Amino acid sequence: MKRFLIMTLACITFGGSAIPVYANDAHHPKANVQKSYVVKGEVVTIDKPADKVKLKHEPIPELDWPAMTMFFAIADKSQLDVLKVGDKVEFEFVRKEGGAPLITQIKTVK
């Protein structure tokens, strides 16, 4: 019993002091850190009912993506109201833990 109490006390003492050491390492990343990407492209299709836009975009080296044409979901669907097929755009998007990209901002450029 005495040995159990000593082990318990040691675990509480040393275990509690170890928490800050491990809180920021690679095995315990900070919650929901999202990287955003800014890219230029061209509007191919606008799908308002689905809140998506199909864009032909330039390569995105940070993601190892070549230039391609793909659909992007858009966070603020009112941004679709100002877009037209053929518009040149600059857009910013995020990906949640490898999930589908989500446009957070999009604007026309010349």
Number of domain units in the chain: 1
Average pLDDT over residues 89-106: 91
Residues 71, 102: Cα–Cα separation, whole Å: 10
User: What is the Cα 52 distance to its own chain's centre?
Assistant: 17
Query: What CATH number is given to the structural domain containing 72?
Result: 2.40.50.320
Phi and psi torsions of 37, nearest 5°: -130, 135
> Is residue 68, in this structure, part of any structural domain at all?
yes
Q: What is the DSSP letter of 92?
A: E
Determine contact, residues 59/66, Cβ cutoff 8 Å: yes
Confidence at residue 10, expressed as pLDDT on a 0 to 100 scale: 62
> Is residue 88, in this structure, part of any structural domain at all?
yes
Determine contact, residues 69/54, Cβ cutoff 8 Å: yes
> Is residue 49, in this structure, part of any structural domain at all?
yes
**Domain interval for residue 86:** 36-108
> Is residue 45, in this structure, part of any structural domain at all?
yes
Band the pLDDT of 101: cuts 50, 70, 90.
very high
pTM listed for this prediction: 0.68
